[in-house]
Amino acid sequence: MKPDFYEQNADDFGYITLLHGHDNRTSAHFHNSIEILFVAEGEFTVRGNGEERILIRGDIFFADNFVTHLYKNGKDPEYYVMVISDMYMNNFRAVYKNNAFPMFMAEKREQTAPLFAALQKAYAEWNEYNTLMKHGFADTILGMLARIYPPQPAKPHKESLFIADVLRYIDSRFAEELSLVSVAAHFGYSPNYFSMLFHRYTDMNFREYLGRVRVRETNALLRGGDISLAKAASLCGFVSLNTYYRALKNQTETQPES
């Protein structure tokens, strides 16, 4: 399961990855790179920009820059995921300008077989690909996808950019005394509306999300050096070990099912 926060490494210059698997329980995350999920078999529940759909074999999900998205396994899932940084998007943007793919692509799944065959072949050889080959493959996949689903004028995602700002804010200030009320006030929202918006985009409430970030950072400190659990938890915003254990227990209990 991926972490629930801004994926900084996905914005590194020249970052590109091709993944394949059967378990993609990924909590809310975002990055400046684009991310494309290709459903090879089974079902996935996908939420992007607060909109949730069930995708089946041949369906594709496209997360544009800073679109908050998450994945939950369905029945017998198999997938490919590509994350493509700006370096690899130059040719696409030169051709399509400010256009982008639809977020959910399911209307033409019968035409996607060659696309999945290309993904399967590339994944088998991915470790042998150099930078130029990866760049060429990104162009190939984007070109094949554009032939099936022609890019359309991109719609502004003000709420998604707002949620990205909120997640960045939490990720940089998790050790402070944060509350739903204080963070909502910081961004100029009422607590009730902020809570509704936050849950729609992340599929969790504010306290649960903050607890996950603090648990993640506490465990990172424990892996990084000679430090007690109590000290690490305190440095990461927990007021006591009991609050750390409660957050850890809650995270385990709410883990999406395979």
The predicted-structure confidence for 204-248, as pLDDT tens digits, reads as follows: 899 999 999 999 999 999 998 789 999 999 999 999 999 999 999
Query: How confident is residue 146, by pLDDT bands cut at 50, 70 and 90?
Result: very high
Arithmetic mean of pLDDT, 84-102: 88
pLDDT, mean over the chain: 88
Domain with CATH 2.60.120.280 in the chain: 8-153
Q: Count other C-beta atoms under 10 Å from residue 108's C-beta.
A: 12
The two three-digit tokens of residue 96, written as one number: 């399509």
> 158-253 — its CATH code?
1.10.10.60
Q: Which amino acid is at 34?
A: I
Q: In the sheet where 26-29 sits, what is the strand order?
A: 26-29, 69-73, 43-48, 51-56
pTM comes to 0.80
Query: How confident is residue 6, by pLDDT bands cut at 50, 70 and 90?
Result: very low
Give the homologous superfamily in CATH for domain 8-153: Regulatory protein AraC (2.60.120.280)
Using CA atoms of 162, 164, 167, 169 in order, give the dihedral in degrees to the nearest 10.
-70
Domain with CATH 1.10.10.60 in the chain: 158-253
Give the model confidence (pLDDT) of 173-205 as tens digits: 999 999 999 999 999 999 999 999 999 888 889
Q: Which amino acid is at 133?
A: M
- Cα angle 85, 26, 91 (rounded to 5 degrees) comes to 15
